[in-house]
Amino acid sequence: MAGEGPSAVGRVALVWDEGVASYDLGEGHPLAPVRVELTIDLIRRVGQLGYGVDEVRPAAMSEAELLRLHRDDFVDTVKRLSEDPTATAEAMYGLGPGDTPAFPGMHAASMLVCSGSIEAARQVLEGRADHAFNPAGGLHHAMPGRAAGFCVYNDPAVAIDWLLEHGVERVAYVDVDVHHGDGVEVMFADDPRVLTISLHESGRYLFPGTGDVDDIGGDRARGSAANVPMAPGTTGGVWLETFDAVVEPLVRAFAPDVLVTQLGCDTHATDPLAHLALTVDDMAAAYARLHRLAHEVSDGRWIATGGGGYQLVQVVPRAWTLAFAEMTGRSLPVDTPIDWREVAFERTGITPPPGFTDDPVRVSEAMQQQADRTAREAVLELRRSLFPIHGIRS
């Protein structure tokens, strides 16, 4: 349970602006803003705020900060469709029917998500907080000139770029979303100052179809990316063993000044859009590992964003409340608050979980064997191809 790892120094920021609920891709879309609103409500109700743990509103960001990573023609298209979502746009921009439909106010809402992740970076870099969390962030699929996978602008990449522009020399980005963190990797593939690590379900089975184990960075920065594709049915035990074998040695060897993480919780066994088999307890164990790494290698400087997760009530609020409790070092109750459950049911019609833990997950023996084999092969390949670049002896 959260709170068993290293405790926070006492300064932790929860970045929140209710305006991010306007990042709304439409009725019935899986990336529903209610999942983040219920997360914030749950964090408040379980007593995580106060005494050095504060809600912080993001300051406005400039369009120049956005345009450092996103093409101006794409941003102009987003602005135009924000005014008239029914207008047509070239398919190359990725906006329209399907995963990432245009919606009113899209540009402003997407900018607000990015400014939230910049604010988390600012809080940590300026010493206002040791750890900072923007649960509305984590839109890691957006590309320089294209929206993709529910993501318009890439807020984790914008935050990393902001850190680099403000004097940070090395950033490690760890992405535990079930989908490959392709957009962030693309934006920094040729930048040796950034190490991107993504643990995800294999692209053989899942969007975006990338993130093979032999993808280890661009030509000008070989070793700047690590990808760990996993098979459907991978349980928490296998996932965590793989994390320990890959993430921990790479982050320690890279020795970043700041740790940035994307905490997508669509790895859960019940997530409707993917096929891994983790529980929220497994996720809490991953958060504890990230917390420990931040203190060991980055003097505690840890910036976290949300990401995927499509069990809007059953999983997302609990997972990200566990993550924030890990940041604060404060314990959580065994049960979710009754008043929170009432609000969640009233807003969604979904019966919320009564507690913060899950029952163990079982998968078939055949799936377990495939998952074990796939993870083991990925680790062996990274030890062969990537570890030597970072001076790691396997």
DSSP E strand stretches across 191-285: 194-201, 225-230, 258-262
24, exposed or middle or buried, with CB in 10 Å at 0-12, 13-18, 19+?
Answer: middle
Q: Give, as one character, the DSSP assignment of residue 92.
A: G
How far apart CA 164 and CA 177 sit, in angstroms, is 24
Give catalytic status of residue 166 as yes or no.
no
Catalytic residue among 70, 107, 131, 141: 141
Q: Which two tokens stand for residue 242?
A: 């793989």
Residue 27's CB is within 10 A of a number of other CB atoms, namely: 6
Q: Shortest CA distance to 288 belongs to which of 315, 256, 322?
A: 322
Which single residue is written with the structure tokens 């991978």? 234
Chain length of the chain = 394
Q: How far is CA 341 from the centre of its chain?
A: 25
How far apart CA 170 and CA 150 sit, in angstroms, is 28
So which residues are the catalytic ones?
Answer: 141
